[in-house]
A = this chain, B = another copy of it.
């Protein structure tokens, strides 16, 4: 029942939304929908833009344990990636990820201190399809 990496990457690219989860200070999972990753390297590394002042950033600074999830509602398929989330605020990474339209969210532009990058590194994956699941190391 395996899904090829090609199919997984297609599912991720077509999902239209990224579901990002963290663990809060009281040990509860916290979940949020975010824009699709701005950049990804296969199914191993994912980069997202976000607000430095956000609750999610605070949580990831304290506890980098994370999962990101993409799903295809029509076909009841989903891919959960488990791994580590890093909060990157160095200008080189911010420059790499920045797009023109981002100024709408970060009025001070690419050097806006409220603009930062979330980098997710996957080490395990769980695939759902045909009402069954399978865990795969990455």
* Residues of chain A having any CB pair with chain B under 8 Å: 16-17, 19, 21-24, 26-33, 54-55, 63, 65-67, 69, 71, 73, 78, 80, 82, 105, 126, 128, 131, 133
- Copies per complex? 2
Nearest B residue (CB) for A71: B33
Give the secondary structure class of A's interface: strand
Q: A16-B73, A17-B73, A131-B105 are in contact. Are A23 and B29 (CB under 8 A)?
A: yes
A96 shortest CB reach to chain B, Å: 23
How far, in whole Å, are A100 and B71 apart by their CA atoms in the complex? 26
Which listed residue (B17, B55, B66, B126) contacts A29, Cβ 8 A?
B66
Q: A73-B16, A131-B105, A133-B55 are in contact. Are A21 and B27 (CB under 8 A)?
A: no
Q: A73-B16, A105-B131 are in contact. Are A65 and B28 (CB under 8 A)?
A: yes
Contact A73 B33 (CB under 8 A): yes
How far, in whole Å, are A73 and B19 apart by their CA atoms in the complex? 11
How far, in whole Å, are A26 and B66 apart by their CA atoms in the complex? 11
Q: A21-B21, A23-B23, A55-B133 are in contact. Are A32 and B128 (CB under 8 A)?
A: yes
